[in-house]
Structure 1
Amino acid sequence: FLIIFVETGLVIMPFLPGDSLLFATGALIASTGTLNIYIVIPLLILAAISGDNSNYFIGRYIGERVLKIKWISKIVKPEYLVRTEQYFEKYGSRTVVIARFIPIVRTVTPFVAGVGEMKYFVFLSYSIIGACLWISGLTLLGYFFGNLEIIKNNFEIVVLVIIGISILPMIYQLVKSKVVKRG
């Protein structure tokens, strides 16, 4: 709960492993049966929505001042903000849902929505949709596939693959920006 809240709720924590953690949580529930998936998923959705709201209001009321703090600007690089703003320009409010599935952008999006003074209820609506899709999707993926023998025997590799897939869009954008600069 806390990791999901902090990853989505504090603009200074874009590096937490949300995707792999959700998959691992689902796999753990399936293999041990110690937790109830019908309780865990709503709690994690609540954590994600709460984190988004926290980050939105930090952006809305403190905004750019936060980014002028030296140690924060080293973690939340200007290019993260630019990339997130580009998503907003291209996809509008849907960015709040799309960003859930893109590491780093997922953390910066609520902050940028707050700084940009996106209407709160529009933000909240998209945040709820995104949180439900992200949390349910990855947790259930872990729940249904995490108990397979091949996954159990290669769990570390599976988690690394999930992390790799999660950062592919970021790598693509990085390569694309380098090519454009050279081109």
Structure 2
Amino acid sequence: MTLLERLILLFAESGYLAVFAALLLCGAGAPLPEDITLVAGGVIAGLGFANVHVMAAVALVGVLAGDAAMFLLGHRHGARIMQWPLVARLLTPERYGRVQEKFARYGNRLLFLARFLPGMRTAVYVTAGATHRVSFLRFFLLDGLAALISVPVWVYLGYFGANNREWLAMWIGRGKHGIWILAGLLAVAGLVLCWRRRRHARCGMDD
């Protein structure tokens, strides 16, 4: 039995609460793929065990709650969090150092793109909180924007593929690439917008 099938059975029995709890675990860095969890939530809606729109909303809240908890944990405890046994297993000093370096280099862009980087989200969010360079509001807005892209894609994909698992498996693979492309396009658009604003500001100062 695949992980997707096991999650479908669990969610069909326990409903929204199980999906929400699983997504909190994903946010905490548990070895549970967020995309498969979201797809499983969509599948049980497609099979009639839940309402797909409510499922999408519950999933979005679960994702954001898990991410926010990691950010606030880093913000409150800073580098000391690295000494916690559970966190030390998930966030090694080497990984923490790499994320710090990337965060210093890319800043807000990394916060947005972290949603599309499996295995890196927890490290990025904890590091963002620990640096104290980003307010919680800015973090939440950037993470929320990314989640508004990824969460509905996976939930509705599961919903429409609930009765055709071969089609669903094919589109899970394609969906990963599609989300990356969409995220890349949005990142490029954001960079262009920032560049135009800076150019505008410089032109105004020259005048």
TM-score tier after normalising by the smaller chain length: 0.7 to 0.9
Gaps of 5+ in 2: 1-19, 181-207
Give deviations 1:48-98, integer Å, cap 9, x for gaps: 111122111110111211212345323321233234334424432122221
* Helix, strand or coil at the partner of 2:50: coil
* Helix, strand or coil at the partner of 2:49: coil
Structure 1 partner of 2:111: 96
77, 101, 107: which one pairs with 1:62? 77
Matches within 5 A, 1:3-82: 3-8=22-27, 10=28, 13-30=29-46, 32-82=47-97
Which is greater in Rg?
Answer: 2
Using the size of structure 2 for normalisation, the TM-score is 0.65
Quickly say closer, same or farther: Cα 1:143–1:89, change in 2 above 3 A: farther
Distance 2:166 2:31 in 1: 28
Structure 2 partner of 1:172: none
Pick which of 46-55 and 73-82 moved more. 73-82
Distance 2:122 2:23 in 1: 10
The letter for the 2-side match of 1:7 is C
116, 137, 143: which one pairs with 2:159? 143
* Structure 1 residue 147, shift from structure 2 partner: 2.9
Gaps of 5+ in 1: 153-157, 170-183
Give the aligned CA root-mean-square deviation in angstroms: 2.5
* Structure 1 residue 114, shift from structure 2 partner: 0.3
**Contact (CA 8 Å) 2:95, 2:123: kept in 1 or not?**
yes
137, 140, 143: which one pairs with 1:121? 137
The letter for the 1-side match of 2:106 is Y
The letter for the 2-side match of 1:15 is P
**Contact (CA 8 Å) 1:14, 1:107: kept in 2 or not?**
no
Structure 1 partner of 2:14: none
* Structure 1 residue 36, shift from structure 2 partner: 0.5
Equivalences, count = 155
108, 116, 120: which one pairs with 1:105? 120
